[in-house]
Amino acid sequence: EPEVTQTPSHQVTQMGQEVILRCVPISNHLYFYWYRQILGQKVEFLVSFYNNEISEKSEIFDDQFSVERPDGSNFTLKIRSTKLEDSAMYFCASVRQVEVGYTFGSGTRLTVV
């Protein structure tokens, strides 16, 4: 069964550093998403991406965050200057059409020290 692949599975970075989280969505999917889950808290929407542009973003997704689909297969989330409170599990998801269920990746655990 097709999968959404996320790398790395765990990343540790120093506060103030830039990080890029990578995702390879399912190849024929058209909509792409990033969510995050701070330990012990709810899963929160960050951003949705369709037709090579952001279609919606949450209040969390401020100008420290950006997304890109550089080559038609990868979908990346960049955090420019990480803060301690960015420590969370970050999930990528994709879907071919919004009437069917999402497929989530297994997540990247980001630890900012």
> 33 or 75, CB closer to other proteins?
33
Across-strand partners of 37? 43, 89
> Closest distance between other proteins and the C-beta of residue 54, in Å?
11
> Closest distance between other proteins and the C-beta of residue 55, in Å?
6
> 25 or 105, CB closer to other proteins?
105
> Closest distance between other proteins and the C-beta of residue 45, in Å?
4
Q: Which residues bind other proteins (CB under 8 A)?
A: 31, 33, 35, 41-45, 48, 55-56, 58, 91, 93, 98-107, 109
**Could you tell me how far CA 109 lies from the centroid of its own chain?**
11
Q: 92 CB contacts (<8 Å, ≥6 apart)?
A: 4, 6, 21, 23, 25, 32, 33, 34, 75, 77, 104, 105
